[in-house]
C-alpha cells in the first residue's frame, strides 16, 4: 500500500512540524488569532496557547490550530466542540479518510488548498510530501493566498 495515502502520515515523527511563520503572519493579519490550540512555549504563535488542548474546556475566540499529526482526530474533534471561530491547517492528501469524512467536513465552512505545498518549520527536506489545507470555522474566507477554495455546504443548509 502506498505510504502517502494509507494514513501512516499521521505519525508522531511529524508532530513537531510547525506552521511557517510567513503563513501564520499572513493569516493572522486577516483573522487576528487570539489562541493557539496545539502549541508549546517554544513554538506558540499566539500569546495564549495550550500544550494540552484536550484538557481545555473554555471557549477561546479566534483560534489557530496546527494539530500534532498523531493526534489529529482527537484535536479536530475537540476543536469543533469548544472553538467558535478559527482556522486550522492539516494534510489533505486523502480526503476519503475518516477524519475528513466524519470530523472535518461536517463541521467546517470552507477549505482552502494553497497552490504550492507548505514547507513546515522543523520538517526535513525541501517541502511536504503531501498538500496541506486551511480549514475555516465561522471565519471569512482567506484573502491574498493563491490556491483553491472549497465552500462546504451541509445538509441543513438546504432545509
Give me the pLDDT at residue 154, please: 81
The DSSP bridge pattern shows strands 110-114 and 147-151 to be antiparallel
The DSSP bridge pattern shows strands 35-36 and 48-49 to be parallel
pLDDT in tens for each of the 159 residues of the chain?
Answer: 334 444 444 555 555 567 889 999 999 999 999 999 999 888 899 999 999 998 888 876 899 999 988 899 999 999 999 999 999 999 998 899 999 999 999 999 999 999 988 887 776 666 667 899 999 999 999 999 999 999 998 877 665
12-158 belongs to CATH 2.60.120? no
Q: Measured between alpha carbons, how far is 3 from 78 in angstroms, rounded to an integer? A: 27
Amino acid at each position: 500500500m502506498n505510504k502517502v495515502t494509507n494514513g501512516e502520515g499521521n505519525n508522531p515523527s511529524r508532530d513537531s512540524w510547525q506552521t511557517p511563520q510567513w503563513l501564520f503572519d499572513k493569516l493572522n493579519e486577516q483573522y487576528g488569532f487570539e489562541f493557539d490550540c496545539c502549541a508549546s512555549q517554544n513554538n506558540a504563535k499566539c500569546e495564549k496557547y495550550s500544550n494540552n488542548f484536550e484538557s481545555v474546556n473554555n471557549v477561546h475566540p479566534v483560534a489557530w490550530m496546527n494539530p500534532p499529526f498523531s493526534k489529529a482526530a482527537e484535536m479536530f474533534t475537540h476543536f469543533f466542540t469548544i472553538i467558535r471561530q478559527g482556522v486550522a491547517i492539516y494534510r489533505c492528501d486523502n480526503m476519503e479518510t475518516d477524519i475528513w469524512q466524519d470530523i472535518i467536513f461536517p463541521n467546517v465552512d470552507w477549505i482552502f488548498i494553497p497552490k504550492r505545498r507548505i514547507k513546515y518549520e522543523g520538517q526535513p527536506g525541501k517541502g511536504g510530501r503531501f498538500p496541506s489545507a486551511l480549514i475555516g470555522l465561522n471565519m471569512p474566507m482567506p484573502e491574498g493566498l493563491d490556491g483553491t477554495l472549497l465552500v462546504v455546504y451541509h445538509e441543513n443548509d438546504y432545509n
